[in-house]
Structure 1
Amino acid sequence: MTTIDLSEYDVPGRGRGVLDVIRWRYLLGLLIRKSTALRYRNSALGWTWSYVKPLIQFFIYYWVMGFIFGMARGEVDNFPLYLFAGFIVVTFFNEAFGNATTAVVDNRALVKKIYLPRELFPISAVIGAFVHFLPQLAILIVVALVYGWVPGVAHFGAALLGLLIVALCALGLGLFFAGLNVRFRDAQNFVEVLRQLATWASPVLYTWVLIQEHMPAWFLYVYLMNPITIAVELFHFAFWEPSVGLDGWHGFPPHFELYTGGAIILCLIFLVIGQLTFRRFERTFAQDL
């Protein structure tokens, strides 16, 4: 009787989760290029929308908060730069989180026909959101230079750390809700509510100092447990602080370094729970779709 060594073969329909990204990186690249190419397909303006849409939202927020509520009249120095630095962070999170949530459902044709690591869909959605974030980052850099931005190593490090926190948070939550969304489409509606709250739950339209002055002490601590709040403050330090100097900067919130470490740990917890939940629902993706 001949014995066949099956150790080199994979069990059909099983993978290593997020770790499969390295093995299937070519397919991941194809998915990213596909989403990027289809985003503005048959659009006259094309990639220009990546600049136009966030700028329109920014001017609306700037008009309301800057002029109606007076933030631009001495409340915050260089308020347009402050606002835009935080705004694009939340925009990146919202797009990455939303696209990751619907990534499996949007690719139902592939899911039902062939096997491939399903985690590639949310991951490609987060990376695709980062690609569309780059034009907004370019605008931010130009605006910062106009305001006299002279960054140091610490400012670049803060920006990179902020992006890492946002990407991990969006991917972890995206995996969790992407798995739920295949079976329970209510998950997508719940995510839309979270995305609407994201802008107001972080110091984008206001400063954290207002939270400290007008809310109980315990509320500030809970507020700082939001990873997006930490990422926004890191971006403020990276792009806004060099333009106003130490006199105009309101400083980091109390114990900010501890909350930054906590935000990274929390994002990793999101990633683990999201992966486990995704794998739990992955078994019935084809049937549910």
Structure 2
Amino acid sequence: MKRTIQAFLKYRNLLRELVIRDIKIRYRKSFLGLLWTVLNPLLMMIVITFVFSTLFKSEIENFAVYFLSGNILFSLNSEATIQAQLSVLSNGALIKKVYIPKYLFPLSKVLSALVNFFFAFIAVTIVMVVTQAEFHTTMLLSFVPVLYLTLFSTGLGLLLSALTVYFRDLTHLYNVFILAWMYLTPVFYPIDIVPESSRAVMEWNPMYKFITYFRMLILDGAIPSWQMNLECLLFGLISLIIGMYVFYKKQDKFILYI
């Protein structure tokens, strides 16, 4: 662990450059650039709000903020893990030439997704102003569920990036999985419509926990219980520990498969 921390401190500047590179590549030749991180969730919110508020007659109070708060959090996880999944493979040429701690590649993807999330959070603030939603002081704690989710996404990203080196088909499988995961998470529908018999299963959905925590702070002005904090922290730490274990177990043989 001590060597890992020393290596992280030694290569922190490289990590920063990798994050900057990811962001530049993503918005290269784009006229609006980083502004898309704010526009994308806003445009998605307009479409979903129209569909569910007008066509499906959703009765969720302030549906726009409800949807957007869940969507940006789910997008943080999906973007971080999907990008991290291919990070080792896409940097194969660099890995073969020089020594770089390989975990920096999936970690940089998680951090670049986190940067995008902070811009997307601006969209939530804009919508709250437009819809005249109440700003609660508990919003100041919104970084807490984001921190828990970042731990979770980092662990999952490390796990996926390691396994994908050996099983390339995992990229296609995970794309299907992430879509199913979104529909199984109350991003644009209330938990109330889920049958009582199925809600126990929802308790094991980490994204449901993170999003519920986030919405309690943003929409309800409530501080989640210590039990919910413990559950979210455990989801994050267990994912991180498993991801780190598998990644470090497999990384020495990456060069044979990339």
TM exceeding 0.5? yes
Residue from 131, 145, 167 that aligns with 2:115: 131
Query: 2:175 matched to which residue of 1?
Result: 192
The answer to whether the aligner puts 1:215 opposite 2:196 as a matched pair is yes
TM-score by length of 2: 0.90
Q: What's the CA shift for 1:82?
A: 0.9
The answer to whether the aligner puts 1:33 opposite 2:20 as a matched pair is yes
The answer to whether the aligner puts 1:236 opposite 2:215 as a matched pair is yes
Q: What's the CA shift for 1:268?
A: 0.8
Residue 260 to residue 190, structure 1, CA distance change in 2 (3 Å): farther
| Contact 1:144/1:240, CA 8 A, preserved across alignment | no
Query: 1:121 matched to which residue of 2?
Result: 105
Q: What's the CA shift for 1:164?
A: 1.1
| Contact 2:41/2:68, CA 8 A, preserved across alignment | no
Instruction: State the Cα deviation string for residues 162-219 of structure 1 (Å, max 9, x = none).
Output: 10122111111110010011121112122212221232222211112222xx231xx3
Residue from 170, 173, 184 that aligns with 1:201: 184
Query: 1:58 matched to which residue of 2?
Result: 45
Q: What's the CA shift for 1:17?
A: 4.8
Residue 19 to residue 161, structure 1, CA distance change in 2 (3 Å): farther
Q: CA RMSD in A?
A: 2.2
Q: What's the CA shift for 1:120?
A: 0.6
Query: 1:284 matched to which residue of 2?
Result: 253
Instruction: State the Cα deviation string for residues 223-263 of structure 1 (Å, max 9, x = none).
Output: 12222111111221222225xxx9xxxx98xxx64344123
The answer to whether the aligner puts 1:96 opposite 2:58 as a matched pair is no
* Percent identity of equivalent pairs: 27
User: What is the alpha-carbon distance in structure 2 between the residues aligned to residue 135 and residue 264 of structure 1?
Assistant: 24
Look up the equivalent residue of 2:106 and give its one-letter code.
Answer: P
SS of 2:183 mapped into structure 1 = coil
SS of 1:117 mapped into structure 2 = coil
Residue 149 to residue 236, structure 1, CA distance change in 2 (3 Å): same
| Contact 1:17/1:119, CA 8 A, preserved across alignment | no
| Contact 1:225/1:263, CA 8 A, preserved across alignment | no
Residue from 33, 55, 60 that aligns with 1:76: 60
User: What is the alpha-carbon distance in structure 2 between the residues aligned to residue 166 and residue 141 of structure 1?
Assistant: 20
Residue 18 to residue 174, structure 1, CA distance change in 2 (3 Å): farther
- With 107-116 and 52-61 compared, the bigger mean Cα shift is at 52-61
Residue from 159, 168, 188 that aligns with 1:176: 159
| Contact 1:172/1:274, CA 8 A, preserved across alignment | yes
Aligned length: 256
Query: 2:234 matched to which residue of 1?
Result: 265
Look up the equivalent residue of 1:162 and give its one-letter code.
Answer: P
Query: 2:11 matched to which residue of 1?
Result: 24
Query: 1:275 matched to which residue of 2?
Result: 244
User: What is the alpha-carbon distance in structure 2 between the residues aligned to residue 106 and residue 56 of structure 1?
Assistant: 30
Name the larger-Rg structure: 1
Q: Which runs of 5+ in 1 are unaligned?
A: 1-14
SS of 1:236 mapped into structure 2 = helix
| Contact 1:31/1:121, CA 8 A, preserved across alignment | yes
| Contact 2:87/2:105, CA 8 A, preserved across alignment | yes
